[in-house]
Amino acid sequence: MNYLKYVWIAVLCSCVHQPEDSADHEIFVKPKGSLQVERSKASATFAGVQVVVEPSLKSSEFSFLVRKPHRMDLMDDLIDIVVDSAMLKVNYTNGTIYISKQPKYQPQRSQHRRRAFSLASIRDSLGVMVSSNGMKSYSCNGFFIDSRHFVSNHHCLVGSEPCDGIQITASNRKVFSCKKIIGTDQEMDYVVIETNRPRSAKNQFLEFDTKLYSFEQTDKLWVVSVRDNMELVSPCSALGNGISTNAGVLCSSQKGCRLASLLSQCSNRTIALGDSGSPVLNSKGEVIGLLWGYVHGGEKNLPAFVPSRLLKQEFKNMDI
């Protein structure tokens, strides 16, 4: 995955000096085995290794992951730092990890804050994927990205031959079967399915927005769920100082690690079971992310999604 930057480092047992710059700076740190979003200062220490954040990033919000790798060919005294390398770069010097901004990173401001799309214009792009093997069954929302290809979450797949048990019901109640799994990834939690939906210029589908946006708190994003009479559109606000579609990795002990950006609570209701796979839309009705669930952030459940910029990069090499 060329959009990730991995830094493998040996854990140090000696004491680590605090950095001179101790100004407050809230960053999201996602330890392995927990869904709690933790806060830190301008630096943090993990297993004796210090992480220092560049002062220029103090007005930004981003995520990164510190974890111990679970690979047989690596020593137990190693940890890794995972960030989205489009926004951040990582250097390791003398027991300290420095996280800084990429020199060429230029986020583009969103200019659209009111919803400019209608539900009718996107309704037939939406659907529900049900995956079953006769013993158990999972369902997730999803959406068409062209006439025949449907995107949903990997964690809703059941069985070693999942295509046999997949059925997709579009919001117009038409039912389609799976012809082929085009691509899937557990860490990014997506699956791309070729369906038997007839090719037609009249078929609705959603377009990706892949710009490097830096959303402001006043911007409105939209989570579209089809589980409530197939017509729920929930406005969501950006989190804190704003979110970035370049956020890092959030890690679940059950489902592995997923790249994600975070939203504050949606105004209609919190994200709930069954909303996974929903598209997150900008005001023009373009997909900026694939919802995979939520993480706990203080008193709120924070919807988490895989940024579309990274999904689109994955899809480039697929037969779509």
User: Could you tell me which residue, 198 or 232, shows the higher pLDDT?
Assistant: 198
pLDDT per residue as tens digits for the range 59-113: 555 555 555 444 434 344 445 555 666 667 777 777 677 777 778 776 666 555 6
Where among 174, 195, 216 does a domain terminate? Answer: 195
296: in domain: no
Same domain? For 135 and 65 the reply is no
Tell me how many domains the chain contains: 2
pLDDT per residue as tens digits for the range 234-269: 777 665 444 555 455 544 433 445 566 667 667 655
Report pLDDT for 212: 65
Residue 82: domain span: 4-11+20-101
Same domain? For 72 and 31 the reply is yes
| Mean pLDDT estimate for the chain | 68
Same domain? For 85 and 139 the reply is no
How far, in Å, CA of 131 to CA of 140, rounded? 9
Whole-prediction pTM: 0.70
DSSP letter, residue 113: -
Report pLDDT for 173: 86
pLDDT per residue as tens digits for the range 21-42: 323 333 344 333 333 334 444 5
pLDDT per residue as tens digits for the range 279-302: 988 888 889 889 887 765 555 566
With a CB cutoff of 8 Å and minimum separation 6, the contacts of 127 are 141, 142, 143, 144, 150, 168, 169, 170, 171, 176, 226
Q: Measuring CA to CA, which residue among 274, 261, 277, 264 is closest to residue 235?
A: 264
